């Protein structure tokens, strides 16, 4: 049976969602705290999909989403549940790696349909390997340890969080330098250049970072 991890601190919502999914044949494991979810995600076998609330007693759910996209479970499908329905909140959730976003209150039938759609997508098109292995701040490419600065690491992790997605320079600036930083598009270009040089040194046959003229950068397998 397909195992889903539900991270939701409201018992009433958690019970209702779990019941609806179990009725459809899924196994649902419920956690109410970020720390509990992190512990479960470190255990094997991993769940096949994560349903994630944003507002939690011990932190922000999107922090977990961002962590997942930079680690070994970076391809785990994630659906965000949130009481925040503004467009900017949805965009932020998707930018940080969520595959889908449902605003509360939501239809249980729609949630089940979205779960099935994400699982089908994961089965039909398994994500390609990028060759990178991430362990905290240590990153290897094809087994070679990369000697990266803090900013180069931030750029690489942002690109790794969504392989093949085009990230604009503005998005990369906000994610790595912060929205209030006194930096420019040229700052991103300069650090991408040094990052590329280090990747080429570690794996000469690879050139994983692609430039999309006028749009930004993506990381390709």
Whole-number pLDDT of residue 93: 76
In angstroms, the CA 73 to CA 137 distance is 16
Angle at 28 between CA 24 and CA 33, to 5 degrees: 145
Give CATH superfamily name and number for 3-124.
Response regulator (3.40.50.2300)
Whole-number pLDDT of residue 188: 92
Instruction: List, for residues 160-210, the tens digit of each pLDDT value.
Output: 888 888 888 888 988 888 765 566 778 899 999 999 999 999 999 888 999
Whole-number pLDDT of residue 129: 62
Instruction: List, for residues 123-174, the tens digit of each pLDDT value.
Output: 644 445 678 888 777 889 988 999 999 899 999 999 988 888 888 888 898 8
Whole-number pLDDT of residue 75: 83
State the number of CA atoms in the 13 A half-sphere of 89 facing the CB: 16
Instruction: List, for residues 23-60, the tens digit of each pLDDT value.
Output: 999 999 999 999 999 999 988 788 999 999 988 899 88
CA distances to 106, 164, 184 from 12, in Å: 14, 38, 47
Every domain of the chain and the residues it spans: 3-124, 132-219
Whole-number pLDDT of residue 125: 44
Q: Same CATH topology for 3-124 and 132-219?
A: no
Whole-number pLDDT of residue 126: 42
Sign of CA dihedral 49, 61, 162, 208: negative
Looking at domain 132-219, its CATH class is: mainly alpha
**Closest CA relative to residue 115, chosen from 47, 201, 63:** 47
Whole-number pLDDT of residue 31: 96
Whole-number pLDDT of residue 143: 87
Angle at 39 between CA 35 and CA 43, to 5 degrees: 165
Instruction: List, for residues 77-134, the tens digit of each pLDDT value.
Output: 999 988 776 667 677 778 777 888 888 888 999 999 999 988 887 764 444 567 888 8
In angstroms, the CA 58 to CA 184 distance is 35
Written as one string, the DSSP assignment of the chain is --EEEEE-S-HHHHHHHHHHHHHTT-EEEEE-SHHHHHHHHHSSSPPSEEEEESEETTEEHHHHHHHHHTSTTTT--EEEEES--SHHHHHHHHHTT-SEEEESS--HHHHHHHHHHHHHHHHHSPPPP-SEEEETTEEEETTEEP---HHHHHHHHHHHHSTT--B-HHHHHHHHT-TT----HHHHHHHHHHHHHHHHHH-TT---EEEETTTEEEE--
CA distances to 33, 126, 142 from 201, in Å: 42, 29, 12
């Amino acid at each position: 049976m397909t195992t889903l991890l539900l991270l939701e601190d409201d018992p009433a919502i958690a019970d209702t969602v779990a019941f609806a999914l179990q009725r459809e044949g899924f196994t649902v494991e419920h956690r109410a705290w970020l720390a509990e979810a992190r512990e479960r995600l470190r255990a094997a076998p991993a769940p096949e999909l994560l349903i994630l609330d944003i507002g939690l007693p011990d932190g922000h759910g999107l922090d977990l989403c961002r962590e997942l996209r930079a680690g070994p479970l970076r391809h785990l499908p994630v659906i965000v549940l949130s009481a925040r329905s503004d467009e900017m909140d949805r965009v932020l959730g998707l930018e940080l790696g969520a595959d889908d976003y449902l605003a509360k209150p939501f239809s249980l039938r729609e949630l089940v349909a979205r779960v099935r759609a994400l699982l089908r997508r994961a089965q039909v098109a398994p994500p390609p390997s990028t060759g990178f292995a991430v362990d905290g701040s240590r990153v290897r490419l094809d087994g070679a340890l990369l000697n990266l600065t803090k900013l180069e690491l931030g750029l690489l992790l942002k690109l790794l969080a969504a392989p093949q997605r085009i990230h604009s320079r503005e998005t990369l600036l906000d994610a790595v330098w912060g929205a209030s930083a006194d930096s420019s598009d040229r700052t991103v270009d300069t650090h991408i250049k040094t990052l590329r040089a280090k990747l080429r040194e570690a794996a000469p046959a690879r050139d994983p970072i692609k430039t999309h003229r006028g749009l930004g950068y993506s990381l390709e397998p």
